[in-house]
Amino acid sequence: MSDNKRDGTDDRDKQLGALGDRIRAARDTGTGARDRDRAEKRERSKADGVAWRISAELVAAFLVCGFVGWWVDEWIDSRPWAMIAGLLLGGIVGMRNVYAVAMRMSREAEDRTDE
């Protein structure tokens, strides 16, 4: 029997090699998983920001145009027709703004996929 087998050196070498392989695999998996998690969080955050922006565009258009309509009603005493017209105009302006944001996002997405 050789000295290596008697003192277990071959077994230790195999165990150390297997341990090294597991450590390398864990490092590779850990870094990739963290990067994927960060990228997913970034995408979710970006989507949340876009949703808030679209909501703000709609609400702001309704409020501003509705206020202008109310002000015109008070000025020329035509209640509620100018306010109703203002709210309708606010809806149209809000939808136009949302459409513009959606088109810009679509162009940006196409540019990213072309790279």
Question: Are 14 and 20 within 8 A, CB to CB?
Answer: no
**Residue 2 DSSP code:** -
Task: Give the tens place of pLDDT for each residue, 31-50.
Answer: 677 788 888 899 899 889 99
Domain boundaries, the chain: 3-114
Q: Token match 């258009």: residue?
A: 61
Left (φ > 0), alpha (ψ -120 to 50) or beta: where does 8 sit?
left
- Cα torsion 2, 6, 10, 14 to 10°: value is 160
| Gyration radius (Cα) of the chain, Å | 32
The reply to whether the predicted model has a pTM over 0.75 is no
pLDDT in the model for residue 37: 82
